[in-house]
Amino acid sequence: MSRKADSFKTQTIKIDRQQLGDNQFIPAVELLRSGEVVGFPTETVYGLGGLITRPEAIGKIFEAKNRPPDNPLIVHISDFQMLDELVLELPRGAEKLCRKFWPGPLTVLFKKSPLVPEIVTAGLSTVAVRMPSHQVARKLIELAGAPVAAPSANLSGRPSPTTAEHVYHDLKGKIPLIIDGGKSELGVESTVIDLDRDPPVLLRPGGLNYEELQQLIPQLELVERGSKNDDNLPGELIERPTTPGLKYKHYSPKAYLILIEKPMARTAGYLTKIWEKYHQKEKRVGWIHTSGKIELPEEIKQDSRTSVVDLTPAGKLDSREHDSKLVARELFASLRALDNKGSEVIVVEGIGYEKEGLAVMNRLKKAASEII
């Protein structure tokens, strides 16, 4: 059952992170304390929050998003004291890691204390915790006075929201309030890691790069790349659910999404062939152009049924092939924008797996209807 679309007149309040005043947070804090849910900004994507001390709020999060009940939520904290109440013990290396990367786009699994309601963790004995760096998010949690459980504030299965408008588009009428704190600067969700496994495992690549984590945890394993015993080529995806959420279809636009993964397929000639196939069928094609080395043919750029989103690196002359930070920041917003333009097919040029590329390709592979 999902929350009725007309339960609320959804309000949006703008809060400037450079000029935080406690008064601006009063409506949001009152709603949270009364067991309601609130959309709020983080540096990764927007979240839909409820206090863990109000389990009825957590039920409303699942309803509003239409989220499967076996997919646990991340608990957001504003300081280290809050962590103590949530967890029974710290895994080896956790303190050092969290002190280095919090506040920021890192989520760590801990053995949960009885204080964390079962509905938050979907019955698991672990709780995923993160301290966001967005000042509006931290201030909200601090003033509410308790940890905030929050998934991304999109309808389940859709691309995550990186602006307050995206949240409004998906959840209007279903939630009372959205705090607009500007565009999320990273654009992909947090990196989730499990330190209790030996070796420690990266469960979901995200806003904190694998390369940076590896400097502190050299043995960190990347499940998606396959373990040493697998015959898969480096970079090959093994479909193995590692965190409950990963078995569901995710991040998908309404359009049929084609991911061009093989670098060999990323030539102007090949891309034109793909475009022609759909152009001949009179389809409205959306195109996410990431490769600075390829000049898209004029016939693609000029066609009235085709919409191109240009995410190529600025300054063509010394351009690298792609700008992974830019692609990560704009990915979900681009998918949403092309959906809104009525694109029936979206073609996205994949990027390399380095840095932000790992999270970008992880999201695209899950969202894609076809991978070439």
The residues that touch ligand TXA, with contacts defined as CB under 6 A, are 42, 44-45, 47, 71-74, 107, 109, 121, 124, 126-128, 130, 150-152, 189-190, 192, 204, 243-246
For Mg ion, the closer of residues 152 and 290 by Cβ is 152
Closest CB 203 distance from ligand TXA, rounded Å: 6
Closest CB 296 distance from ligand TXA, rounded Å: 32
Q: State the pairing for strand pair 306-310/201-204.
A: unpaired
For Mg ion, the closer of residues 160 and 343 by Cβ is 160
CA distance 141 to 125: 24
For ligand TXA, the closer of residues 57 and 74 by Cβ is 74
For ligand TXA, the closer of residues 48 and 255 by Cβ is 48
Closest CB 310 distance from ligand TXA, rounded Å: 26
For ligand TXA, the closer of residues 190 and 343 by Cβ is 190
| Cβ within 8 Å of residue 133, ≥6 positions away | 42, 43, 103, 104, 105
| Cβ within 8 Å of residue 250, ≥6 positions away | 157, 363, 366, 367
For ligand TXA, the closer of residues 202 and 296 by Cβ is 202
Identity of the amino acid at 69:
P
Closest CB 362 distance from Mg ion, rounded Å: 13
For ligand TXA, the closer of residues 90 and 268 by Cβ is 90
Closest CB 317 distance from Mg ion, rounded Å: 38
Binding partner of residue 71 among ligand TXA, Mg ion, none, CB under 5 to 8 Å per kind? ligand TXA
CA distance 95 to 100: 9
Chain residue at closest Cβ approach to Mg ion: 152
CA distance 326 to 187: 9
| Cβ within 8 Å of residue 356, ≥6 positions away | 188, 209, 324, 325, 327, 328
Closest CB 291 distance from ligand TXA, rounded Å: 27
Binding partner of residue 173 among Mg ion, ligand TXA, none, CB under 5 to 8 Å per kind? none
Site for Mg ion in 133-192 (CB under 5 A): 152
Closest CB 160 distance from Mg ion, rounded Å: 5
Binding partner of residue 73 among ligand TXA, Mg ion, none, CB under 5 to 8 Å per kind? ligand TXA
CA distance 234 to 178: 42
For Mg ion, the closer of residues 152 and 209 by Cβ is 152
Binding partner of residue 107 among ligand TXA, Mg ion, none, CB under 5 to 8 Å per kind? ligand TXA
Q: Is the dihedral of CA 102, 107, 113, 115 positive or negative?
A: positive
Chain residue at closest Cβ approach to ligand TXA: 245
Question: Which residues in this chain contact Mg ion in the complex, by CB under 5 A?
Answer: 152
